[in-house]
Chains A and B, each alone.
Chain A
Amino acid sequence: MIGRFFALLAAGAVLFALRGLVAAPEPLVVEIEPGEDVGEAILIDQAVRGRWYATDSVVRGHLVRAMRFAGEPGTDAELVDRGIALGLVETDPLIRARMLERARWALGAVPDPTYEQLEDWLDAHADEFRIDAVYHVSQTPREPMAALGPTLQGTRAQLAGQVGERAAAEIVGMEVGERRSIEYPWGTVDVRLHSVDSPRDAVLHEVENAVRESWRADRRDRVLAHRMALLREQYQVVER
C-alpha cells in the first residue's frame, strides 16, 4: 500500500513537472561559449537551479578539501558554505563535471512505474512471469544413498538439477498419490508423489522487481531521448 502511494506520488510529480514545462510561459535562457555543447550547458543549468551542490557528498567533500587547501579555517559545513559563497560551484571544473554526471544519470533514469502500469505490464507479459508447478515427493532408495534426502521438492528444472533429467521427467509424469520405482542416476529409488502445486500466473507483489526492470528496459532509450528533447525545447540558447 505504501509502495503504491509513493508510486502514485512519483507519477504525479513527474506529470506535474512535465505539465509545468509544457506550459512554461517564459523560456529559460542559457548562455554558452562558442563551441560549447548546448546539451551540457542545459544540464548544468538544471543542476545549478536544483542546488544539487548543496547536498551532493562528492561536491561537498571537494569544497572542503579546496577550502582547506586555501588555508581557510572552520568546520566542514562552514567551509562548504564559504566555498559556495565564493562562487566555486559555477567555476570549479570538478564540481561542474560531477553535476553533469548526475544530470545525465537522472536524465537516463526511468522513474518508477505506477502500480497500475506494472499491473498492465504483467498482464500483457504474463507468460514471462509464470510460476512453474512445484512437485513434492518422498523417495526411498533400494540401496543406501546417504546423501540423498528422504524428500524432494521443486519445479521440473529444479528436480532435474537434483536427480537428473530422466528421473525428473518420470516424476512430473506421475499422478498425485502414485508410487513408482524410478531409476535415479545412482540406482533404483521408490518414489511417491504427494502433491503438486499447480502452475499459475504470478501476482504482482511476487515479481515486482522483475516486472519493473522489464518495464524500464522497454522504455529507457525512448525516455532518454524524449527528456533531452523536452528540455531543449524549454531553453533559449544565447552565445556569449
Chain B
Amino acid sequence: MIWWALLAGCSSTPGDPLEDAYVAEVIGRCEAYTETKVPLFGDTHVHTALSLDASLQGTRLRPADAYRFARGEEVGIQPHDSAGDPLRTVRLQRPLDWVVLSDHAEFLGLVHICSTPGLPGYDDAICQGYRDDPDASFFGLNFLLTADESDAEPPPLCAIEGVDCDAASAVAWQEVRDAAAAAYDTTDACTFTSFVGYEWSSNPGALNLHRNVVFRNEQVPEIPVSYFDEPHVEDLWGRLYSECLDGLAGCDVLTIPHNSNLSSGLMFQGLDKNGMPMDADYAAIRQAMEPLVEIFQHKGDSECWTGSPAGDELCGFEYLPYNNLASANLDQKGEPTALDFVRDALGEGLALQQSLGVNPYKYGIVASTDTHLGTPGLTDEASFPGHGGAGQANRDGLPVGHPDVVAFNPGGLAVVWAQENSREAIWAAMRRREAYGTSGPRIVLRMFAGHGLDEDLCEAQDYAQGGYATGVPMGADLPSGDGPLRISVAALRDALDDPGTRLQRIQIVKGWHTPNGVQFAVHDVAGDPTAGAGFDADTCAPTGEGDDSLCTTWTDPDFDPSVPAFWYARVLEVPTCRWTQAQCVDAGVSCQGQVPDEWAGCCDPDLPRTIQERAWSSPIWYVPGE
C-alpha cells in the first residue's frame, strides 16, 4: 500500500491537533504599514476556466493564471487558434493589490469530469455535449439553476452510477486553494494578497440571488456549497457556520450578494425561506454574514434606479435593461422593481432596524468585475474584451464589432482602507465595512463623520489622523453626541498619468426613517457640475476642466438626533466616452457615412455614448441611543 504514504503531508485529518492550534497571522507583518491606512484596490468577483459558463465560452485561464494577471503579467484569452494559442492578449495597466477568486460552486465537479479524459462520466452524453456543443450545453445546464428551491437538483451526470461529482469538485477546489496559497505574498514586501472564495449561484426562476463566499485565510471547508446542496441562503449560512465558523479552527467567512438589479425584487424582499417576514434572528445572521454588498459589475449598476422612490437623475448610470439573468442571456428586456437596488435596501434596513431591533441590510459597499475571462480588475473602457460568461461568446473567432452585449460594461473595483496589504488587514477592513466601490477608475475616496469634526479638516496637515481622532470612518456607526453633524469627504482622481480623467463633484446621499417611511436626499457638496467639463463624442477627447482633488466638510442641515439615518458619498468623474463609443471611435466609424453592419450599434440613438465613472463609499449609520 502506498496511498497513506502518498497522502502524507498532502492533507491533514479532522481533529488534527496542529489544525486545532491554528495561529492566525497578525496585522503588522508588512514593511509598508500605515496606521491611518491606505486604499488597496482589488476584485472580489472573478471566474476562471473552472466555472461552467466561463469554460463554455472558451475561457482557458485557470486560477493560477488569474493571479498572474492580477499581479501584472500579460495573459492570452479566447479565441484560440487550432494550435491552442490565444488570439488576444490583455494586461493590466497597474497590478491589483488583492483578489478573491469566485468560481461557481455549481458544476465545479462536472467541468472537471468533462474535461479530464478517463474519469467516470467523461464519455457520458452530457460531457460530450459540453465538449462538442457548448452553446446548447450553456443553456441546458444553466437551466438547472433556474429550478425553484424545492426542485434544485444537480446535473443528471452526477446521478450516474460511478460518477462522483463531489470528489471531482474537491479536486477543482484544491486547485483554487493551492493557487491562492502560491499567489499570496507572505514576504514583508506584501505586494499581493489572495483570498479563497467561490460563488453560490442561487437562481430560482432565473432571479439572481447569488452570493460570493469569501474565506479569511487558508482554513476553508473541504468542498464548496452549491445551490444544489443548499438552495436557500439561510441554509448556505448554516453550512458555513457548521463547516467553517464553528467547525474548523481559524476559519472565518463572509458572503457578498451581487446583482440585486437582476433579482426582480427578491434579493431584499425581507422574507425567509418559508415565505415569512424575516425575524430578528434572521436579520442578525444576515448582518453578521453579509457586511458588504457588490454595487456594480459587468452586468450593471445596482446602486439605484431612476424609477425608484430612492432614485435621482444620476441613477441611470450603466442601467441594465433586464430584470433577471435569463433575460440578460436572451436579450429580453424588462424593468426592475423598486426594491432591486442597494439604496432602497439601505432604507429598508433602517425600517427593519426599528421593527426588529437589527438592521439586516447594513451593507458596506464594494464593486467588482465578475469577469469570466480570468482577468481580475480589467476595467479599462476602451479595451473591454467582453464578459466571458454570458452574452456574446468569443470562443470560435475574433469578435467582429463590439466584443459583447452592449448593455454590459467593463465592471468595477473593490477598495478597502487597510493598514497593510495582508489577509488579516484586508479582512478586518471588510468586516468593519471600511470599503468602497468604483466603476473602474482608481479614485481615492475617504469619508469621516462626527459631531466634533473640525470644519477645517480638509486643510489639516493629516486629514486621516484628524478624521479618526474626531469622527468615524465609512462603514461605521455614528455615536450620539452634541453639536451639528459634520461629514467630511475627500477624493483624488485616478493617478493614472495618461489618460487622467478629473473629478466633477462629490455628492452625499442621505436616507432617514420617518413614521411615514424612508426618505432620501442627494446633496452636491463639492465640485462644480456646471463647469462644462466633458468630452468630444466623435473623438473621445476630453474638453473643459475638472478637479484633481476635492474635499469638503459638510454640515447636515437637517440632522435630527431622534431620527435613524445613513449617509454615503458618491464621487463623480467628468463625463467620458463609454466603452462602446470608445471602440466605435477606435474603429473609425462615422455615422455620417456608410456604417458596417457589425458597428451598426455605434449609431443607435438609444445607446449611451457617455458615462460618468464614479465611486461609492460605504455608508455611515446613525441609530438614536446606540
Q: Which chain B residues border A197 with CB–CB below 8 Å?
A: 31
Tell me if B119 counts as interface (CB < 8 A to partner A): yes
Stretch at the interface among A14-22, A77-85, A173-181: A14-22
* Interface residue SS majority, chain A: helix
Q: Which chain B residues border A160 with CB–CB below 8 Å?
A: 94
B10 adjacent to A109 (CB under 8 Å): yes
**CB within 8 Å of A: which B185-209 residues:** 186-189, 191
* CB within 8 Å for A166 and B497 given contacts A9-B8, A146-B457, A213-B178: yes
A interface residue count range (under 10 / 10 to 19 / 20 to 34 / 35 or more): 35 or more
Q: Which chain A residues border B94 with CB–CB below 8 Å?
A: 157, 160-161
Q: Which chain B residues border A184 with CB–CB below 8 Å?
A: 495
Measured in the bound complex, the distance between the Cα atoms of B465 and A18 in whole Å is: 62
Measured in the bound complex, the distance between the Cα atoms of B34 and A34 in whole Å is: 69
Q: Which chain B residues border A144 with CB–CB below 8 Å?
A: 458-459, 549, 551
Q: Which chain B residues border A16 with CB–CB below 8 Å?
A: 5
Taking a contact as CB atoms closer than 8 A, the residue among A9, A158, A186 that contacts B548 in the complex is: A186
A106 adjacent to B191 (CB under 8 Å): no
B491 adjacent to A161 (CB under 8 Å): no
B167 adjacent to A101 (CB under 8 Å): yes
A50 adjacent to B4 (CB under 8 Å): yes
A161 adjacent to B164 (CB under 8 Å): no
B462 adjacent to A150 (CB under 8 Å): yes
Q: Which chain A residues border B548 with CB–CB below 8 Å?
A: 145, 185-187
Task: Among B164, B184, B445, B464, find the residue whose CB has the most chain A CB atoms closer than 10 A.
Answer: B164
Taking a contact as CB atoms closer than 8 A, the residue among B2, B188, B191, B446 that contacts A157 in the complex is: B191
Taking a contact as CB atoms closer than 8 A, the residue among B9, B494, B496 that contacts A7 in the complex is: B9
B191 adjacent to A146 (CB under 8 Å): no
* CB within 8 Å for A94 and B164 given contacts A145-B549, A153-B31: yes
Nearest CB on A from B468, distance (A): 12
Of all chain B residues, the one with the shortest Cβ separation from A166 is B497
Measured in the bound complex, the distance between the Cα atoms of B144 and A187 in whole Å is: 55
**CB within 8 Å of A: which B154-178 residues:** 161-164, 166-168, 170-171, 174, 178
Q: Which chain B residues border A213 with CB–CB below 8 Å?
A: 64, 178-179, 181-182
Of all chain B residues, the one with the shortest Cβ separation from A144 is B459
**CB within 8 Å of A: which B10-69 residues:** 10, 18, 31-34, 36, 38-39, 41, 64
* CB within 8 Å for A94 and B162 given contacts A155-B189, A207-B187: yes
Taking a contact as CB atoms closer than 8 A, the residue among A21, A50, A185, A206 that contacts B188 in the complex is: A206
Measured in the bound complex, the distance between the Cα atoms of B166 and A103 in whole Å is: 14
Tell me if A151 counts as interface (CB < 8 A to partner B): yes
Tell me if B402 counts as interface (CB < 8 A to partner A): no
B4 adjacent to A134 (CB under 8 Å): no
Could you mark each residue 82-126 of chain A with 1 if its beta carbon is under 8 Å from any beta carbon of chain B, else 0? 000000000001101110111111110101100000000000000
* CB within 8 Å for A94 and B460 given contacts A105-B170, A161-B495, A187-B549: no
* CB within 8 Å for A147 and B2 given contacts A163-B495, A185-B548, A197-B31: no
A13 adjacent to B462 (CB under 8 Å): no
Q: Which chain A residues border B36 with CB–CB below 8 Å?
A: 149
Task: Among A94, A107, A136, A162, find the residue whose CB has the most chain B CB atoms closer than 10 A.
Answer: A162
A207 adjacent to B186 (CB under 8 Å): yes
Measured in the bound complex, the distance between the Cα atoms of B488 and A186 in whole Å is: 19
* CB within 8 Å for A206 and B549 given contacts A50-B3, A111-B10, A162-B495: no
Measured in the bound complex, the distance between the Cα atoms of B461 and A161 in whole Å is: 23
Measured in the bound complex, the distance between the Cα atoms of B10 and A58 in whole Å is: 19
Measured in the bound complex, the distance between the Cα atoms of B184 and A208 in whole Å is: 10
**CB within 8 Å of A: which B206-220 residues:** none
A145 adjacent to B9 (CB under 8 Å): no
**CB within 8 Å of A: which B460-502 residues:** 460-465, 488, 490-497, 500
Tell me if B120 counts as interface (CB < 8 A to partner A): yes
Taking a contact as CB atoms closer than 8 A, the residue among A106, A143, A147, A202 that contacts B491 in the complex is: A147
Chain A residues at the B interface, C-beta cutoff of 8 Å = 2, 6-7, 9-10, 13-14, 16-18, 20-21, 37, 39, 46-47, 49-50, 52, 58, 93-94, 96-98, 100-107, 109, 111-112, 131-132, 134, 136, 143-151, 153-155, 157-158, 160-167, 184-187, 197, 202, 206-210, 212-214, 216-217, 227, 231
Chain B residues at the A interface, C-beta cutoff of 8 Å = 1-10, 18, 31-34, 36, 38-39, 41, 64, 72, 94-95, 97, 118-120, 161-164, 166-168, 170-171, 174, 178-179, 181-184, 186-189, 191, 421, 442, 444-446, 457-465, 488, 490-497, 500, 548-549, 551
Residue pairs across A and B with Cβ atoms less than 8 A apart, 20 shown, are A16-B5, A46-B2, A58-B164, A93-B162, A94-B164, A98-B164, A101-B119, A105-B167, A105-B170, A132-B189, A134-B32, A153-B33, A155-B189, A157-B191, A185-B492, A185-B493, A186-B492, A186-B549, A210-B184, A216-B178
